[in-house]
Amino acid sequence: MENKENKSKKDKHDDNEEYRKEKRSKRARTRSRSRSRDRDAKKDRDRDTRRKRRHSRSPDAYDKRRNEASKVDEKKPPPEKKAKDTDMLNTRTGGAYIPPARLRMMQAQITDKSSMAYQRLAWEALKKSIHGHINKINVGNIGIIIKELLKENIVRGRGLLCRSVIQAQAASPTFTNVYAALVAAVNSRFPNIGELLLKRLVIQFKRGFKRNDKAICISSASFIAHLVNQRVAHEILALELLTLLVETPTDDSVEVAIAFLKECGQKLTEVSSKGVNAIFEMLRNILHEGQLDKRVQYMIEVMFQVWKDGFKDHPALIEELELVPEEEQFTHLLMLDDATDPQDILSKLFTSP
């Protein structure tokens, strides 16, 4: 009897378990169908919204929008035309690099030689030619370079020539005597070019002196010294420059003065021995005061020995660079205070000859 009761309870429990499983599966199917209905309803709503928007666009509204778009396009500026080759030269610095063959071809295509484009092309060609000649010069070919340079329109490009020579000398100080010989040869034929270059050098030296820039002072003073050797600059300028450097001595100013004296001391001794004696007397007083650095004091002592030897290791001119006869030399009497206007516009813009 007990076995029958237990069996009936077990069957009842199994029936309940199956009922619960079936109920859970029904709920799961119901949730799935509900989610599916929600997705379908959302799709329908989106489709209806798109359909309503599409139908709301009447032909009149479409035409109105199209007309407004065309009006906006009409207000836009027309596309720029492709720049011509000559436009590359219309910038302040001359534009992009143009190969010489391309430059000549562009020049040949322009028939009106008085036009702005042709003049700019001619200016670019002159600048490249002058710069190329200056970069190639040395003791061996200086005569050939001077002849080639005189074939160019250096009167029109005098600002370019002066700037190119000054830059080349600052980059290669060991060739300063060569550049000075070139300037002397050009100065004998065109004194205004020599005066312009000397004026720019003096202004550059004064700027470096005010800024305590020893490198610029030495570079400019060295070039001026060799121009004194070539009789382009007067010895009064050299003595005035030396007096400025040693009257209020500092380590840098005395060093620049010694470098200047080594370059043109021999020439100054020939033309103005009293002036050189006065400069060395000032150096002797500076040495006795002993207020400068030991290195600078040693440089002054070495300078006295060089003076005693007659500057034999620092000749004013070498035979290969004596290009201008004495009767053809033109000396500029330019003082430190006289150099005020470097005429930089001659280097930046093309001008009439």
Report helix, strand or coil for 312: coil
Average pLDDT, the chain: 79
Who contacts 184 (Cβ-Cβ below 8 Å, separation ≥6)? 194, 227, 230, 231, 232, 323, 324, 329
For residue 17, pLDDT beyond 80: no
pLDDT at position 35, please?
Answer: 73
Domain boundaries, the chain: 2-54, 86-136, 142-348
User: CB neighbours (10 Å) of residue 341?
Assistant: 10
Q: Residue 202 and residue 241: Cα distance in Å, rounded? A: 9
CB-based contacts of 169, cutoff 8 Å, min separation 6: 175, 176, 179, 219, 223
End-to-end CA distance of the chain: 140
* Ranges assigned E (strand) in the chain: none
Q: Looking at the predicted structure, is the pLDDT value of residue 92 above 50?
A: no
Region of residue 152 (phi > 0: left; psi between -120 and 50: alpha; otherwise: beta): beta
pLDDT of residue 179: 92
Q: What span, in angstroms and rounded, lies between the C-alpha atoms of 38 and 306?
A: 107
DSSP 110-166: ---TTSHHHHHHHHHHHHHHHHHHHHH--TTTHHHHHHHHHTS-TTTTHHHHHHHHH
What is the CATH architecture of 142-348? Answer: Alpha Horseshoe (1.25)
Cα angle 40, 45, 48 (rounded to 5 degrees) comes to 125
Beta bridge partners of 233: 332
Distance separating alpha carbons of residues 102 and 105, to the nearest angstrom: 5
Report pLDDT for 21: 73
For 256, the 3-state DSSP assignment is helix
For 209-246, what is each residue's pLDDT tens digit?
899 888 999 999 999 999 999 899 988 999 999 999 99
- Whole-angstrom distance, CA of residue 177 vs CA of residue 263: 9
Q: How confident is the model at residue 69 (pLDDT cuts 50, 70, 90)?
A: low
Report the pLDDT value the prediction gives residue 219, as an integer from 0 to 100.
92
Question: Model confidence at 129, in pLDDT bands (50, 70, 90)?
Answer: confident
Higher model confidence: residue 46 or residue 153?
A: 153
